[in-house]
Structure 1
Amino acid sequence: MKLKLFIFLFTFSLIKIFATGQEPDKIIINNKEYDLMNNPLEGYLERHPDDHPVFGPKLPEFQKYKNGERMLSFSTSNDRDYIATFTIENNVLSLIDIKIPDLNSENEDYISVFQKLFGDRKIVLNYSGILVIPTGKLIEAASFGYSSLHEHYKLITINNDTVVKEKDLNKDEFIKFKFRQFAQYKKTEEYKMELKKYIEVWEYSKKSELSKENTKGMSKKEISTLKKGYEQPPTEDYMNGYFFATGNPDFVIVDY
């Protein structure tokens, strides 16, 4: 376990340097709001793309962006382009708000568009997974949404929007849970797809970085250093470290 913990903390330190922090979704439990280290709305939006607050057809103010007339200038700290707020009441997970960056704000303020999108319609998420909610003091702040480390966590297992289990864990218990979940995640088709996608992105970056256009004006030493960084593709162990520290395969249900 000491070796695994060392790998975790080493990878964690790398992510702090190279990744971009993300605005978390929110969840309200017993009238208290928490950050949520999951994005339960993503699966719903994949099944119902017309309900997407930015890329769906329901908000006409985004039409000029979708038509290519203007560029979206949302912050890189929110790759989803929205912040969703959920609640758990009577053991049921529900969506209660969606906020997006205000196009008319110079300060990247967020405005609610829930009413515009759904009116009084109740949204059935059909979400199943393990929600991860940091509840304790922040130990290590990382520049990626899922890689900060806290003293305590609350885990909640959801099956089709219904709570079936919940438990409070300390830091060490949470790390052990992460290892168990990741071991099962490696057996999934989603994991294989992520490995393939990572390599494809690496190959595209290599081609782009080493192109004549990009290296124009560089010294021979600079080009040589750049080429050295792309001599070997990333190993599976390296990619596993990255996925472990930055990912959150909430759909993989394991005991905790």
Structure 2
Amino acid sequence: MKFKILILLSIFSIIQIFATGQEPDKIIINNKEYDLLNNPLEKYFEEHPDDHPIYGNKLSEFKQYKNGEQMIYFSTSNSRDYIATFKIENAVLSLVDLKIRDLNSEKEDFVSVYKKLFGDQKIVLNYSGILVVPTGKLIEAADFGYSSLHEQYQLVTINKDTVVREKDLNKDDFIKFKFRQFAQYKKTEEYKTEFKKYIQDWEESKKSELSKENTRRMSKKEIAALKKKYEQPPTEDYINGYFFTVDNPDFVIVDY
């Protein structure tokens, strides 16, 4: 097991150059705002696509972009295209704000669209999972995913928007939790689907990059380097390292 962990951690460090750090959502607990290393709205938007601030149908200002009349650009540091703010009050998780980048701002400021989307309606997230809230000092920053390391964390288990457990963990116990959660994640159908998709994407990328169309202006040396890059498919350990870095299997409930 220790050997597997060492392999995963070494791959984890290599993958830093391929993934991008993400702007986190926010959560208010006991009237204090923290970063939230989960994205509870993602599943909600899968089930309610019209409510998505960018890709839904409720905000008229985005019609010209969805129709292809204009291009819309967002930062790679926010692949969600929004920042949500949640609140835990009376042991209930709720959404209290939703912001997107202001398209009219040269400084890429964020503007709230919560009222435009939902009015005074209370949103039922129907979220179940383990929320990860860093509460301690930042020890090691990492520009990929949500992989920065902090001294202290608060974990909160949610069942259909209701808090059922919470606990403070130091960094060592948090890392142990992450490995336990990932081990269980590997047993899920979601993992199997993502693993298969990763291999398929790699094969499609290989076919595209080695195509005559892509290599016709390359030198022999460049083509040889590209062929070497795709000489062997990614190993299971490499793929697991990538998933460990960028995936967020918060739906996998484990002990902590």
- TM-score of Structure 1 vs Structure 2, range by shorter chain: over 0.9
| Alignment-mate amino acid for residue 199 of structure 2 | I
Corresponding residue for residue 81 of structure 2: 81
Range moving further from structure 2, 15-24 or 176-185: 15-24
Matches within 5 A, 1:214-253: 214-253=214-253
Q: What are the superposed Cα offsets for residues 76-105 of structure 1, whole Å, 9 maximum, x if unpaired?
A: 111111110000000000000000011111
Corresponding residue for residue 151 of structure 1: 151
Corresponding residue for residue 207 of structure 2: 207
| Alignment-mate amino acid for residue 196 of structure 1 | K
Separation in 1, partners of 2:19, 2:136: 23
SS in 1 for 2:27: strand
Q: What are the superposed Cα offsets for residues 1-51 of structure 1, whole Å, 9 maximum, x if unpaired?
A: 654553343233223222111111110111111111100011111111110
TM (norm. structure 1) is 0.96
Are 1:133 and 2:136 matched, yes or no? no
SS in 1 for 2:111: strand
Corresponding residue for residue 42 of structure 2: 42
| Alignment-mate amino acid for residue 69 of structure 1 | E
Separation in 2, partners of 1:179, 1:69: 46
Separation in 1, partners of 2:8, 2:203: 26
SS in 1 for 2:232: coil
Are 1:167 and 2:162 matched, yes or no? no
Separation in 2, partners of 1:33, 1:72: 30
Instruction: Say if 2:101 and 2:109, in contact at 8 Å, map to a contact too.
Output: yes
Separation in 1, partners of 2:8, 2:150: 14
* CA drift at 1:143: 1.6
Instruction: Say if 2:9 and 2:241, in contact at 8 Å, map to a contact too.
Output: no
SS in 1 for 2:241: helix
CA root-mean-square deviation: 1.3
Separation in 2, partners of 1:188, 1:53: 30
Q: What are the superposed Cα offsets for residues 33-73 of structure 1, whole Å, 9 maximum, x if unpaired?
A: 11111000111111111101011110000000010111111
Matches within 5 A, 1:86-125: 86-125=86-125
Instruction: Say if 1:15 and 1:246, in contact at 8 Å, map to a contact too.
Output: no
Long gaps (5+) in structure 1: none
Separation in 2, partners of 1:82, 1:124: 19
SS in 2 for 1:72: coil
Query: Would you say how many aligned residue pairs link Structure 1 and Structure 2?
Result: 256
* CA drift at 1:242: 1.1
Instruction: Say if 1:184 and 1:252, in contact at 8 Å, map to a contact too.
Output: yes
Instruction: Say if 2:36 and 2:132, in contact at 8 Å, map to a contact too.
Output: yes
| Alignment-mate amino acid for residue 223 of structure 1 | I
Corresponding residue for residue 25 of structure 1: 25
* CA drift at 1:216: 2.6
* C-alpha spacing 1:7/1:174, structure 2 compared with 1 (3 Å): farther
Separation in 2, partners of 1:77, 1:133: 19
Corresponding residue for residue 11 of structure 2: 11
Separation in 1, partners of 2:36, 2:191: 22
Instruction: Say if 1:11 and 1:245, in contact at 8 Å, map to a contact too.
Output: no
* CA drift at 1:106: 1.3
TM (norm. structure 2) is 0.96
* CA drift at 1:207: 1.7
| Alignment-mate amino acid for residue 42 of structure 1 | E
Are 1:193 and 2:193 matched, yes or no? yes
Q: What are the superposed Cα offsets for residues 190-217 of structure 1, whole Å, 9 maximum, x if unpaired?
A: 0001001111211121122212222232
Corresponding residue for residue 72 of structure 2: 72
| Alignment-mate amino acid for residue 25 of structure 2 | D
Long gaps (5+) in structure 2: none
Instruction: Say if 1:154 and 1:167, in contact at 8 Å, map to a contact too.
Output: yes
